[in-house]
Structure 1
């Protein structure tokens, strides 16, 4: 890596550290568009501070959020109005997942923290027949297509940071305080294994270093 490129990347890191915005929350409206207008029950895996849970509750009969971080779950409870049909649980996203079945299961930027195949098998088991699984995930950059999406995300990321923060320096929101882990699977492998486990699943690369998966259980 050349010295000018290193300086550019350091400057970019400083810029985003001062003007953070939530890449995961950016996908929340897209997630809602993949779901029925009304559904009975939903489960958000890795719910964090509960932003998506509260959005799901507007359209669902009951919504449950689960996260392994007891502190962030307590914050989610405090941020959630008592009139919403929402509950939260602390637990492992695979071994301690609340029993279903659920009409909707969502999982945002969590799957790369979990054993991939086991997690998808458990999600599928908890999903009701006809239910919808929506995943927004992170993949390791490996192919030319991966790097192309990553490069396209750089200028878009700067624009979004300026627009969402109105050009100002801001404090990192609670929704962005979860531990970060680099993904160890590339998109091609993720897509191949997911389609084998979930026949008919739709996977797409997306901007901001994310991919999407939508599966409707027969």
Structure 2
């Protein structure tokens, strides 16, 4: 890497540190469009501070959010009004997931932290007949298509940061994010394994370093 390249990367890091935006929340509206207008029970795996769980409460009669981090789960409870039908629990996925069945299961930017096949099997086994599983995941870049989408995401990421922060540096929030680790599976590996566990699953690469998976249980 040349000195110029290093300076550019440092400048981009400073830019995004001053103008953060939530790449996962960006997919919430898309995620809701994959779900039925009304559902009975929903499970959000890796619920974090509960943003998606509260949105799911507009579709489901009851929502259960689980996360392995006690502090962030407590924050989710604090931020959720008592009138909203959402409950939270501290649990390790996939072994600690509640039994279900659930009409909707969601998992955003979490499954790469879990044993992938076992997690999909746990989601499948807890999904009610006719239910919908939606995953927004992160994969390791390994193909020309991955690198092309990654390159296209860089300028778009800058545009989104400017738009969402109205071209001004954002105030720095108190961080409540869980520890993260890089993904170890490429997208083709994810597709191959997912379609073995979830026949007919629809997977697609997305901008902003994400992929999506949608599966309907018959």
The TM-score, its normalising length taken from structure 2, stands at 0.97
Question: What SS does the aligned partner of 1:27 have?
Answer: helix
Separation (CA, whole Å) in 2 of partners of 1:156 and 1:126? 37
Name structure 1 gaps, 5 residues minimum.
Answer: none
Query: Structure 1: how far apart are the matches of 2:105 and 2:174?
Result: 23
Contact 2:62/2:86 (<8 A) preserved: yes
Q: Deviations over 1:144-197 (max 9, x none)?
A: 000000001001100110111112222454676221210000001001110111
**Misfit runs of 4+, over 3 Å:** 171-176
Distance in 2, matches of 1:68 and 1:38, equals 28
Distance 1:55 1:196, change over 3 A: same
Alignment of 1:124-139 (within 5 A): 124-139=124-139
Q: 1:196: which partner in 2?
A: 196
In the alignment, what sits opposite 2:156?
156
Matches within 5 A, 1:25-104: 25-104=25-104
Per-residue Cα deviation, 1:36-82 (whole angstroms, up to 9, x for no partner):
01101100000000000000001110000000000000000010010
Separation (CA, whole Å) in 2 of partners of 1:213 and 1:182 = 19
Query: Which residue number corresponds to residue 22 of structure 1?
Result: 22
Q: Which runs of structure 2 are paired with 1:200-215 in the superposition (5 Å)? A: 200-215=200-215
Runs of 5+ unmatched residues, structure 2: none
Residues matched between the structures, number? 218
How far apart, CA to CA, are the structure 2 residues paired with 1:172 and 1:134? 31
